[in-house]
């Protein structure tokens, strides 16, 4: 008998996304996409391991027609409704066993609707953008859609030859066919489903920053090359600054995609960031967002939240990276940014506890700005040497793992002789905004 809970995750914010009873080890996705008709056909082979005996299990998947489901090569019975693919294998799967699920599916991919709008696979004017945080991964493949279930990926995608395909991962091969091209990408680092992305467009692939230890590329509309060259002209310097501050870049390459559509905000994926054409203006107006998205490769992607309550560990850190880049690039110092945003926060109702903002406030600007202020308060309290040693070791010790706020508190305490409990309680647990510490930084 399968215990209850296999259709839900342990994430208190989004229990309907994600499933219990198993952990995914690898996704092999073989996809065929027709841009003009927005038609996706796929075969997903999911290798997983049980964490309890299972007579049935579930996957998250959007509005597709399911053609066939097999478990370890044998046909399985299934139902598919309300975003859940419920599978009953021919025989129960024992505790600790590794098993393979094959799902063949097809249809018109549409984003997943939620309180943040439509998330996931989205048609552009001429192509596709996939931005899945936090619930959009099932819009294009069957998965265990929870941030703490990281797996490796192999993605094969066939599309019409005029289009460039970019998937989060390292390009393994590219094969031309009769009017189509098949692209194969492999993601060997453990990756949460929401951080996998597909970008399809009439893009030109260019170097983002020559030289250096990290390969940096961009996929851009050819007509935007001159303004892109200017607005992203300091990307190599931003990468170098991040590596000095946080430690080595955690993946083999970094890809920036500029969609030929306007986007409200840039979005990060594993080893990738996606900007809209409106983020290019020839004046580097949005360079802080360039730093923000790059910082997510450390904070959010290599180190991924164990559940969505801890979102400040992504967004507060990436926002603070904006202030750090400003400091080292000749802009206002982190002290000035902190003082300005502290004044801004004082003018807004103090209604959010950063350590647990609630599902409706996960992406509230208060979480971003106050999260960054929390780090600045910590830095001011313990001094620069301890603070940056703390950041680099936090990244190194938790590379490609999941993290929680309590883990960060314990980690930070190792770098301070004085107790930090009161500081974290005031900044993270209570809505009231504390004053900024005034202790000189060492």
Residue pLDDT, tens place only, 112-160? 998 999 999 999 999 999 999 999 999 999 999 999 999 999 999 999 9
Residue 6: pLDDT over 80: yes
Confidence of residue 9 (pLDDT cuts 50, 70, 90): confident
The neighbour count for residue 346, using CB atoms within 10 Å, is 10
| 3-state secondary structure (DSSP) of residue 71 | strand
Higher-scoring residue by pLDDT: 59, 8? 59
pTM assigned to the model: 0.96
Determine which of 92-106, 197-211, 392-406 has the lowest per-residue pLDDT on average: 197-211
Average per-residue pLDDT for the chain: 96
Going by C-beta distance under 8 Å and a sequence separation of 6 or more, which residues neighbour residue 123? 38
Tokens 């945003």 belong to 341
Residue 213 pLDDT: 86
Handedness of CA 13, 47, 407, 375 (dihedral sign): negative
Residue 441 pLDDT: 43
What are the Cα distances from residue 171, in Å, to 40, 168, 221, 294?
Answer: 21, 9, 20, 20
276-303 in b/e burial notation, b at 16+ Cβ within 10 A?
A: bbebbeeeeebbbbbbbbbbbbbbbbbb
Q: Which domains does the chain have, with CATH numbers?
A: 22-119+126-198 (2.60.40.1730), 204-297 (3.30.2010.30), 305-429 (1.10.390.10)
Measured between alpha carbons, how far is 23 from 92 in angstroms, rounded to an integer?
Answer: 16
Percent of the chain with pLDDT over 90: 94
Which residue, among 26, 27, 10, 29, has the nearest Cα to 18 in the 3D structure? 10
Q: Which neighbouring-strand residues pair with 151?
A: 191
Average pLDDT, integer, range 65-94:
97
| 3-state secondary structure (DSSP) of residue 355 | coil
Tokens 């299934």 belong to 78
Measured between alpha carbons, how far is 352 from 315 in angstroms, rounded to an integer?
Answer: 15
Angle at which helices 384-397 and 365-382 pack, to 10 degrees? 120
| 3-state secondary structure (DSSP) of residue 402 | strand
Q: What are the two backbone dihedrals, phi and then psi, of residue 379, each rounded to the nearest 5 degrees?
A: -60, -45
Average pLDDT, integer, range 168-184:
96
Which residue, among 214, 215, 218, 251, has the nearest Cα to 233 in the 3D structure? 218
Determine which of 26-35, 208-217, 331-340, 348-357 has the lowest per-residue pLDDT on average: 208-217
Residue 1: pLDDT over 70: no
């Amino acid at each position: 008998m399968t215990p209850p809970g296999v259709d839900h995750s342990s994430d208190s914010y989004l229990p309907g996304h994600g499933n219990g009873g198993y952990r995914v080890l690898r996704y092999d996705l073989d996809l065929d996409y027709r841009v003009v008709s927005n038609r996706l056909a796929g075969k997903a082979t999911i290798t997983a391991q049980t964490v309890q005996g299972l007579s049935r299990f579930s996957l998250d998947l959007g509005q597709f027609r399911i053609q066939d489901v097999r478990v370890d090569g044998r046909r399985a019975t299934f139902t598919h409704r309300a975003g859940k693919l419920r599978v009953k294998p021919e025989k129960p799967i024992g505790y600790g066993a590794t098993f393979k699920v094959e799902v063949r599916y097809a249809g018109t991919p549409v984003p997943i609707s939620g309180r943040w709008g439509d998330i996931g696979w989205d048609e552009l004017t001429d192509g596709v953008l996939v931005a899945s945080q936090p619930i959009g991964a099932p819009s294009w493949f069957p998965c265990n859609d929870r941030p703490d279930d990281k797996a490796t990926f192999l993605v094969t995608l066939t599309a019409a030859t005029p289009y460039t395909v970019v998937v989060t991962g390292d390009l393994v091969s590219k094969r031309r066919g009769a009017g189509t091209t098949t692209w194969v990408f492999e993601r060997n680092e453990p990756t949460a489903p929401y951080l996998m992305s597909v970008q399809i467009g009439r893009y030109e692939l260019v170097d983002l920053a020559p030289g250096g230890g990290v390969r940096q590329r961009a996929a851009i509309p050819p007509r935007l090359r001159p303004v892109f060259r200017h607005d992203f002209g300091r990307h190599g310097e931003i990468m170098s600054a991040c590596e000095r501050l946080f430690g080595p870049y955690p993946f083999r390459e970094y890809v920036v995609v500029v969609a030929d559509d306007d986007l409200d905000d840039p979005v990060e994926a594993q080893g990738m960031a996606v900007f809209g054409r409106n983020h290019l203006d020839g004046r580097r107006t949005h360079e802080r967002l360039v730093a923000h998205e790059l910082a997510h490769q450390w904070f959010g992607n290599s180190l991924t939240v164990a559940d969505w309550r801890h979102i400040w560990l992504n967004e507060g850190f990436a926002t603070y990276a904006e202030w750090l880049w400003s400091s080292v690039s000749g802009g206002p110092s982190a002290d000035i940014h902190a003082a300005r945003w502290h004044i801004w926060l004082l003018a807004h109702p103090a209604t959010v506890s950063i350590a647990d903002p609630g599902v409706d406030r996960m992406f509230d600007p208060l979480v971003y700005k106050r999260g960054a202020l929390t780090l600045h308060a910590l830095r001011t309290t313990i001094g620069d040497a301890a603070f940056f040693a703390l950041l680099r070791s936090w990244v190194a010790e938790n590379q490609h793992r999941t993290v929680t706020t309590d883990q960060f508190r314990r980690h930070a305490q190792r770098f301070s002789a004085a107790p930090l409990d009161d500081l974290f309680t005031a900044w993270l647990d209570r809505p009231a905004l504390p004053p900024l510490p005034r202790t000189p930084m060492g």
